[in-house]
Structure 1
Amino acid sequence: MILLLSCCCLLNTACGYLTKNDQQLVYARPAYGTDRFIRIQGYNIHYVETGTATGQQETMLLIPGAFSTYRSWNRMIPLLAKHYRILAIDYLGAGDSDKPASGFAYKIEEQADVIAQMMQQAGIPKAHIVGVSYGGLIALNLATRYPHRATSVVCIEGGVVKPDKLPHYYARKVLGWPLVGDLFVSAIRSGLFDTATTKAVMGEAWKDMSRKERQELIHIFAQNNKTASRRAWYLISQTLENSKDFVEEIKTLKTPVLYLYGEKSELRAMAEMNVRFFRTYLPEVEIVSFKDGIHDLELQKPREVANLILKFLGQGGNEIITSKHKDAAATPSPIAVP
């Protein structure tokens, strides 16, 4: 009986997310900036805006990775907002944005279409597009199919070349089973596994982090997990198989691209496949690897990544590197950052 009641409570938690957020509610106030909503294709899209919109200041869009929210950028937002108007987006299926139960498959090209329309409706002619993993793939797709919208692209471990296999196969499969998947997501949303999830994602980087950094990251993951949706997570996990291939189209891309990846990333093999592709077909792409970097560099090395982005965009960036981070953020080379 206790087990049955526990399962019922967990299922109730799993079904508690907002499929349609017409009231434009937010789970929690942002650490930086102001909550905003915009309605695109009948969907409510949530984003956080910060930075000074002077009319001369350029706009930068931040797109999080799979199973994340805009909060994944919290460690970088204050560093970039000094130079740009920042819009940190919850794409459809994430955070406080709608999580369509039907009619939207969370494919890369669908997400890119929504963001391009968002830019048009918000009066943003062009922007720097920064994305990590799933978000990086959206950024590259948007720049390829809407070149007039992208001033530049920064892609952290996203890519257009698909590997034969991806890690976490069984976890992705579980998400496809309605009852079992709902229990899995409800357990994630309950907060019981926030620390374990954070440690798993941060991998080898965890041992080198201070207590303060660990608490900050656990808080980010806890807030990300609270708005999880089984269907959205499942379809996002299938995105490489289900999204339209744009390998040929991207070969004509003229937009400046900075590509970052970690040599300790569990997806290093996929990242290096894309590095080889870029070097062959898009040799102008700037490529930087971090020798001790994991997949989520925006969480592990926010100052170093922000510094590279600002240098790439001609904004200098050295002023955000303190003596504590100086060695880790050495002068970037096209091969590696120690």
Structure 2
Amino acid sequence: MAIATTSDGVKLHYETAGSGTPIVFVHEFGGNHWSWEPQMSFFTRRHQCLTFAARGFPPSEIPQDVTSYSQARAADDIFDIMDCAGLARAHLVGLSMGGFAVLHAGLRRPERVQSVCAAGAGYGAEKAYEEYFKGISEQVARNFEKQGSELFAKTYAEGASRVQFQEKDPRGWGLFAERLGKHSSKGAANTMRGVQMQRPSLYDLEPEFSNMKPPVLVMVGDEDDHCLQPGIFLKKTVPACGLAVFPKSGHTLNLEEPALFNHLLSEFLAQVESGRWNKRDPRANPAQIMRTD
């Protein structure tokens, strides 16, 4: 348990355990640093693992000004924490909001990113729903402010891509919902307005993604509808990218299907570290249906 001070003076809580090649886990909007407990317990067997509470999420500091929150700032916070922990380079793993953050980190500072695993990254990316997403994000921010986290968590935790977790693991989902209810209402609202509503669509970053340097694994649940197409977009655009689709699964992948998540992530990290996660073979031409000559 430690405190990192970011380059703009915000204090962030982080925890680290284990030894080996570093992995930094970046949580989603609906979670916090505790969301990665199944991964921290598993991967510390072979890696130095670090998880942290994003700005606006207790016990990290809650900046009161919404201008202290942004997508760029979320990516920079990862590197500020790595600096405080003495990590020159690391694998980055993120879910949802954290998935966006690790993708942006991989674009911004590829020399410090050994690989990127982005799970459930896609909300607000689809161009057809871009304005709707901004509007609904503002409503969510207002609900956190007016109702408070404890009350609104009961609604938010039963979203269309969360009920799969509830069905499979009521106990695990109950703990997720309980922790969601302890979020800072101010921090949640500011994160919605400063990060979620303002971040660029993944599709607007196609030129950057087509030249992305770190290897990437994208994970998505097949019932996480607004992440499926963005996941396919990333697979087709990022040079060294794999796509894993979890059957009968929603948004909270690392908690909903921890064994499958850990297995796929382990294989990915092993292939990256052995130099075997490469760009797509040029012979695997997507325009070809069957070879005739």
Aligned to 1:114: 77
Aligned to 1:273: 230
Higher mean displacement: 251-260 or 111-120:
111-120
The 3-state SS of whatever aligns with 2:76 is: helix
Of the three residues 106, 119, 137, the one matched with 1:172 is 137
Corresponding position: 1:46 with 2:2: no
Alpha-carbon spacing, 1:194–1:151, altered in 2? closer, same or farther (3 Å)? same
More helix as a share of residues: 2
- How much has 1:120 moved relative to structure 2? 2.3
- How much has 1:157 moved relative to structure 2? 1.7
Supply the RMSD in Å over aligned alpha carbons.
2.8
The 3-state SS of whatever aligns with 1:140 is: helix
Report matched runs for 1:314-333 at 5 Å.
314=270
Of the three residues 295, 301, 309, the one matched with 2:257 is 301
- How much has 1:238 moved relative to structure 2? 6.0
Cα distance between partner residues in 1 of 2:218 and 2:17: 24
Amino acid paired to 1:120: D
Cα distance between partner residues in 2 of 1:297 and 1:103: 29
Aligned to 2:287: none
Alpha-carbon spacing, 1:193–1:241, altered in 2? closer, same or farther (3 Å)? closer
C-alpha deviations, 1:82-138, integer Å up to 9, x for none?
121111111111231112112634221111112212212332100010000110010
Structure 2 stretches lacking a partner, 5+ long: 272-293
Of the three residues 65, 78, 81, the one matched with 2:44 is 81
Report matched runs for 1:228-247 at 5 Å.
228-230=184-186, 232-236=188-192, 239-244=195-200, 246-247=205-206
User: TM-score, normalised on structure 2?
Assistant: 0.80
Corresponding position: 1:37 with 2:10: no
Cα distance between partner residues in 2 of 1:204 and 1:114: 31
Whether the 8 Å contact between 1:62 and 1:130 is mirrored in structure 2 is yes
Of the three residues 296, 312, 316, the one matched with 2:268 is 312
Alpha-carbon spacing, 1:161–1:248, altered in 2? closer, same or farther (3 Å)? farther
Alpha-carbon spacing, 1:168–1:204, altered in 2? closer, same or farther (3 Å)? farther
Alpha-carbon spacing, 1:224–1:207, altered in 2? closer, same or farther (3 Å)? closer
- How much has 1:254 moved relative to structure 2? 1.6
C-alpha deviations, 1:142-177, integer Å up to 9, x for none?
011100111011100214982132677775333454
Aligned to 2:181: 225
Aligned to 2:223: 264
Whether the 8 Å contact between 2:57 and 2:184 is mirrored in structure 1 is yes
* Higher CA-based Rg: 1
Alpha-carbon spacing, 1:161–1:249, altered in 2? closer, same or farther (3 Å)? farther
Amino acid paired to 2:15: V
Higher mean displacement: 127-136 or 166-175:
166-175
Count, aligned residues = 265
Report matched runs for 1:95-174 at 5 Å.
95-102=58-65, 104-159=67-122, 162-163=125-126, 164-165=128-129, 172-174=137-139
Aligned to 1:182: 145
Cα distance between partner residues in 1 of 2:137 and 2:177: 19
Whether the 8 Å contact between 2:99 and 2:121 is mirrored in structure 1 is yes
Structure 1 stretches lacking a partner, 5+ long: 1-34, 316-338
Cα distance between partner residues in 1 of 2:233 and 2:156: 31
Aligned to 2:277: none
Whether the 8 Å contact between 2:62 and 2:186 is mirrored in structure 1 is no
Whether the 8 Å contact between 1:76 and 1:306 is mirrored in structure 2 is yes
- How much has 1:198 moved relative to structure 2? 4.0
Cα distance between partner residues in 1 of 2:30 and 2:184: 7
Aligned to 1:282: 238
